Amino acid sequence: MNTPQLQNDKLKIINWIAQLEDAALVEKIKSLMKESGKPYLLTNEQQKILDSQVNSNKSLYKDSEVLFTDLKKNNGL
């Protein structure tokens, strides 16, 4: 997979995860993270950014499919 596509896919996944309301699904994702064998630690800056988004207005988020379509359109893909 090429780097721009990989970055795009990761952004779509992040956007999708940020909108999840299903606690069971979040737990499954957390278990996948543990199974990967690689501990992933956020920097303090990254953690602050995530923490600041917890109570943000969900209507300000863009749907991942819309984001992907806009990205393709804006980059001539």
Name every residue whose Cβ is closer than 8 Å to that of residue 37 and which is 6 or more positions away in sequence.
Answer: none
Global pTM exceeds 0.75 = no
Nearest Cα to Cα of residue 10 among 68, 70, 76, 72: 68
For 1-57, write each residue's pLDDT tens digit: 678 888 889 888 888 888 888 889 988 888 888 877 776 788 899 888 888 877 777
| pLDDT of 74 higher than 80 | yes
Burial pattern 18-56, b for ≥16 Cβ within 10 A else e, equals eeeeeeeeeeeeeeeeeeeeeeeeeeeeeeeeeeeeeee
